[in-house]
Amino acid sequence: MKKIALLFIIVFSVTLVNSQVHINTFIVGGVSLPNFKYSYDKVSSPRSIYQGYTGGLLASTGFMGGTKNNMMLNFGLNYLQAGAVDKAPTSTTFVESKIRLNYLQGEFFISLPISLLEICGGFYYNYAISGKKTYSKADGTSTTTDLKFGNQDGVDDAHRDDFGLSLKTIINVSKVKFILGYNKGLFGISANALEDVYNKTYSISIAYPLGKKQ
């Protein structure tokens, strides 16, 4: 996974050097609507959306020339809250459990403008900076524990690294970008060998330019 992240950074750096164009930067903020694709011992179990927040910076440049070209290259550096809610935990003591993952996210995607829209596709890499699991009881009380990150089955809860597809639709209104996003994890994030857990995160964000748009 770390090799993929390194390749991710190298590809973006080489692309910027070769593009030789001005870069437009945006500040981005919005809500995340994360969930998990979850199964235990090959048996699927539904999870619910656990709303969070996302924010960061977006850099955009034209492909092999000025920004008037059709194809645009984009890089995002974000703080992203992911996770999911289990409304039917196997424990009889609890009525609900929630997992919150806080990621530092890098994105690289290509966008194709069509009138006021941009259709986008690319990849993301997430690095977990923290995480918590909260168990709620019927009496309204709850217990929260920190997640342990690593690769040891039976010791750790989750892997720090996550990599997957990044899909977006961007609506341009004057200087502002309205961004509808979807991230689909390609690798399981659970350290438990019996669990298959994949991130899937929708997001709704607004991007506003920093400085004069070029």
The stretch 176-189 carries a mean pLDDT of 96
Residue 152, pLDDT score: 81
Residue 144 in this model has a pLDDT that exceeds 90: yes
Q: Which helix (H) or strand (E) holds 12?
A: helix 2-19
Q: Bigger pLDDT: 36 or 67?
A: 36
Tokens describing residue 200: 């899937």
Predicted confidence band of residue 115 (pLDDT cuts 50, 70, 90):
confident
204 three-class SS: strand
Residue 90 in this model has a pLDDT that exceeds 80: no
Residue 30, pLDDT score: 97
Question: What are the tens digits of pLDDT across the range 36-64?
Answer: 999 999 999 999 999 999 999 999 887 65
Question: What are the tens digits of pLDDT across the range 158-181?
Answer: 999 999 999 999 999 988 999 999
Is the domain 2-209 a CATH 2.60.40.10 member?
no
Q: Which helix (H) or strand (E) holds 163?
A: strand 161-173
pTM of the model: 0.86
Cα–Cα distance measured from residue 172 to residue 183, given in angstroms and rounded to the nearest whole number:
21
DSSP for 69-105 reads: SS-EEEEEEEEEEEEEEESS-S-SS-SEEEEEEEEEE
Q: What percent of the chain shows pLDDT beyond 90?
A: 64
Domain ranges of the chain: 2-209
Count CB-CB contacts under 10 A for residue 194.
11
